[in-house]
Amino acid sequence: QTTSLTVNRGGLLGGNGDIYGDVIVYGTISPGHSIGTLTVNGSVDFMPGSTYAVELAPGGISDLLRVNGEVTIDDARLLVSLRRSLYATGDRWRILEASEGIHGRFSSIDTTFTSETLSLRQQVYGGKMDLVLSRTPYVTFGDTENGTAVGAALDSILPTAAGSMAGLLINMDFAMARRQVATTLRELSPGM
């Protein structure tokens, strides 16, 4: 138990469990060992240059910082790790809860992955913050008639894709640059 805990620049506060007291973050907070929950019984202040690192997994499973107090975010960044899987527009993850409200937003969302098709945005409401996923449809990467047709077909099967088709779509989402996605669409048969 403490009245105040400071995470200095370059420092990391991570793991599961409870902290009793206020937390001032100049470094990084990362709940869980892999995915888990860290509870702060006090306030949390994300100071300029600080980082909140979270991991997301399929099915809305994510790290969570639960604060029994208020959270203030001042020019801090979010660092997101997203497990490789198929995701749909509107998939969401609860990453922050504060019983006395969330003041501010993270100034940037940085990811440990590169994707031309997937993006995340913050949604704050009622003392909760979710990350919500959006997809850029494959059809928009088509640069030929065939590529556009294949892209539209892949968009329509995305939620139910399995096996090698799911593997292809995951690679398109997580391992291909824009040009590679367009080339893949051009070279696939719409009949697939």
The residues, any chain, with a CB within 8 Å of residue 182's CB and separated by 6 or more, are 141, 142, 143, 147
Beta carbons of 133 and 119 less than 8 angstroms apart: yes
pLDDT tens profile 51-110: 999 999 999 999 999 999 999 999 999 999 999 999 999 999 999 999 999 999 999 999
**Buried/exposed code over 92-105 (b: 16+ C-beta within 10 A; e: otherwise):** ebbbbbbeeebeee
pLDDT tens profile 161-179: 999 999 999 999 999 999 9
Q: Which amino acid is at 70?
A: E
Indicate whether 6 pLDDT > 70. Answer: yes
Q: How much is the pTM?
A: 0.92
